[in-house]
Chains A and B, each alone.
Chain A
Amino acid sequence: MSLKTITIWLVTFVLVLLFFYGLNHSIMGMQGLPLNWDLTPAQWTPEQ
């Protein structure tokens, strides 16, 4: 496998990953359920 092929795969993979990361944030944000940077719920206090 050439260096060029590896670069193409890596770059597209990272870009797609970033896209989905942003997607998750925006979808949950739109529903009024914000997330922290690590995708954990930002608006949730485990209280009964």
Chain B
Amino acid sequence: MNADYTQRSYSHFHWLWRVLFGLLLYLVVVIAGVAWAGSSIEDNIAPTGYVQVAAQSPLYSEAVAAQPDNALAEPEPAPKMTDKSYRRFGVSSRSVVWVLAQMHLFFGALVLAVPLFVFVIEFIGFKSGDARYDDMAHEFMKISLTAYAITALFGGSLALALFLLYPGIMNYMMGVFGAQMLVYAVLFFLESMLLYIYYYGWNAMRYGNAKWVHLSIGLLLNGVGTTLLVVANSWATFMMAPSGVNEVGAVIGGIWDVMRGPLWNPLNLHRFLANIAFGGAVVGAYAAYKFLSAKNEELRAHYDWMGYTSNFIAILAFLPLPFAGYWLMAEIYAYSQQMGITAMGGVLAWLFVLQAVLIGTILLAGNYYLWSGMSRTKGAKRYTHFIKYIAVVLVVSFLIWVTPHTLLLTSSEVAALGGSHHHLLGPLGIMPAKNIAVNLMLLATFLSFQLYRRSNKEITVSWAPVGNALLTAIYLVAIANIIYAGVYYGYFTNTVYKVGSSVIQVMSTLVVIVSGIVIDSLMFRGAKTLPSRWGQVSNRAQYALFALPVAFTWLMALMGYVRSSVRTNWHVYTVVKDTSQDNFIPTIGYAANMMTICTLLFLMFLLFIFWIASLSNTKQAPPGAAVEASA
């Protein structure tokens, strides 16, 4: 068993590659569609804000006066927030809701994401007939199950806190979403049922036709889970870019119009991918924890492999994430340029330095883990000399990325900061340089992946030289193109071309990733597999698996702070003003402390879950056993 474990190639991962490939293709189509549609973004923007109103009478009062008498048939406008719309019990209401919402989101993300890849892994195990995949999937699911109860706990507390502390806005939101919230509750029950059946029915429906039933339950579970996600997303996107309501907040469309705001789908994709990356990172930490505490070689091999799989999932879901984020940001700019600038260039601009630190941590940790993992096979020697170049590219790009941004601020903010341009700022601080750096970091990470995958293979196809030449050429030209687009359009043309050229950079990176996957999978046909030894990886590499979830968790909290802050002093942007004591954007330091509190709390609960998971495997020997054995 042990030998079998450590010598296996686990080539079944091509299933995962196909899933990723599908995702990427979808992304390419979406980005192309967005670029193609251009003006159609406006069509997606609901009848609120200035876009729709621009065709009407220019002054608001005239617009209201010009309404026909039957305007009364319209439903009530959004209420004005007064002192009675808020309650406060000593501590800041916002902080209470902040922590509860963040915890609910952390666990919710985990619970929704894990079954997604568990289902894929289970399917791989089923198709390949390899029981270890099935066991691993089941073990991952155990974490998700414990987390589910905690998710519900925090969800309930969050709802309670919201209705208690923010009755005014919650009342309005209930009015807007109405029955949709009931649908959500029903889905939630369905999710619970399916989750428990899926986990506890695992061994009862393990083989033959019963396995198909079990897989179908898994599919259903993921369907319901993803629906829950997009329904909850619509609340957040409605508050950022309301749709289906008129300019005073009265509902004028159906629930579908309310949900289908301009930011809904970008956020759906972004959260879907990010959840998978986050979930992968968390179960990776579980594997690393078990690896470090493993007592024998067999367990080490098992958890090494599990950690590798988790890291694989986390990084692969992470790679397309910047592009989904780009789409989201582009839609925010299209919806309201002011909101876009608030996010990217106002008070929040410094935050992107922090984001760079976090993403840099994630990419460096992910790459380091891959490089360490290459020691599992002897064939890796052929590629190890590449690592130092990849490391240099990563580090230099990282440094460019964290170089502070050009700041666009109101004058008092400028005064507070001492100038809109940071004194360290050279040309490296502006966006084109950062775009180059980010794309190069992604390419470097993907190259690490490709090298890792090659390290245990001897390619036998006859056209291997052509394939290698093609891959090399694509890398070189793509890198040149990314640098060219960033430097030329970024520094020597106007803003419009500068912004447009970042799509060139994004597409160049995507071309490398997509073509790399295609060419690799063709070249690996009939390749000779060299032996790998699982469990041989160093202990130090396991800490990279801890760095990932810590950075992911903190990053998620950080981006939540931006997403929520771009609404500035509005509960529902342009419709319901926030008049509470906490209606300002807090400083980044304050926000960071909140994020750290949330991350620490999450970590505590996580370790508790890991402990529970191993507790359920521990059996106390019956009191009579020792006597019998000695007898």
Decide if A and B touch, CB cutoff 8 A. yes
- A19 CB to nearest chain B CB (Å): 8
- B487 CB to nearest chain A CB (Å): 12
- A28 CB to nearest chain B CB (Å): 6
Q: For the complex, would chain A's binding face be called helix, strand, loop or mixed by DSSP majority?
A: helix
C-alpha spacing A28/B481, complex, angstroms: 14
B477, A5: Cβ atoms closer than 8 Å = no
Query: A30 and B32 in contact (CB under 8 A), knowing A8-B465, A9-B469, A44-B493?
Result: yes
Q: Does B592 contact A (CB under 8 A)?
A: no
A28, B500: Cβ atoms closer than 8 Å = yes
Q: In chain B, what residue has the closest Cβ to A44?
A: B494
B35, A31: Cβ atoms closer than 8 Å = yes
- B478 CB to nearest chain A CB (Å): 7
Query: Which residues of B sit under 8 angstroms from A15, Cβ to Cβ?
Result: 473
Q: In chain A, what residue has the closest Cβ to B484?
A: A39
B501, A28: Cβ atoms closer than 8 Å = yes
Chain A 9-31 interface 0/1 with B at a Cβ cutoff of 8 Å (1 = within)? 10011011101100110011011
C-alpha spacing A32/B500, complex, angstroms: 9
Query: A20 and B478 in contact (CB under 8 A), knowing A9-B469, A12-B473?
Result: yes
Q: Does B503 contact A (CB under 8 A)?
A: yes
- A26 CB to nearest chain B CB (Å): 9
Q: Which of B332-340, B343-351, B429-437, B504-512 contacts A (4 or more CB under 8 A)?
A: B504-512
A20, B469: Cβ atoms closer than 8 Å = no
C-alpha spacing A8/B493, complex, angstroms: 36
CB contact list, B467-514 vs A, under 8 A:
469-470, 472-474, 476-478, 481, 485, 488-489, 493-494, 496-497, 500-501, 503-504, 507-508, 511
A30, B35: Cβ atoms closer than 8 Å = yes
Query: A23 and B465 in contact (CB under 8 A), knowing A30-B32, A31-B38?
Result: no
Query: A12 and B481 in contact (CB under 8 A), knowing A23-B508, A32-B38, A33-B500?
Result: no
Q: In chain A, what residue has the closest Cβ to B511?
A: A23
The range of chain B's interface size is 20 to 34
Query: A5 and B465 in contact (CB under 8 A), knowing A17-B477, A24-B504?
Result: yes
- B215 CB to nearest chain A CB (Å): 39
- A1 CB to nearest chain B CB (Å): 11
A12, B497: Cβ atoms closer than 8 Å = no
Query: Which residues of A sit under 8 angstroms from B477, Cβ to Cβ?
Result: 13, 16-17, 19-20
Most buried by A among B473, B488, B493: B473
Which of A12, A27, A28 contacts B470, CB < 8 Å? Answer: A12
Q: Does B54 contact A (CB under 8 A)?
A: no
A16, B473: Cβ atoms closer than 8 Å = yes
Which of A16, A32, A40, A46 contacts B474, CB < 8 Å? Answer: A16
B504, A27: Cβ atoms closer than 8 Å = yes
Q: In chain A, what residue has the closest Cβ to B471?
A: A12
Query: Which residues of A sit under 8 angstroms from B485, Cβ to Cβ?
Result: 24
B35, A41: Cβ atoms closer than 8 Å = no
Q: Does B466 contact A (CB under 8 A)?
A: yes
Beyond known contacts A16-B474, A20-B478, A28-B504: 17 more, CB 8 A cutoff: A5-B465, A13-B469, A13-B473, A16-B473, A23-B511, A24-B485, A24-B504, A27-B504, A27-B507, A28-B503, A30-B35, A30-B38, A31-B35, A39-B488, A41-B494, A41-B497, A44-B496
Binding site for A on B (CB under 8 A): 32, 35-36, 38, 465-466, 469-470, 472-474, 476-478, 481, 485, 488-489, 493-494, 496-497, 500-501, 503-504, 507-508, 511
User: 14 A–B contact pairs at CB < 8 A?
Assistant: A9-B472, A12-B466, A13-B469, A13-B476, A13-B477, A16-B473, A20-B478, A20-B508, A20-B511, A23-B507, A28-B503, A33-B497, A40-B493, A41-B489
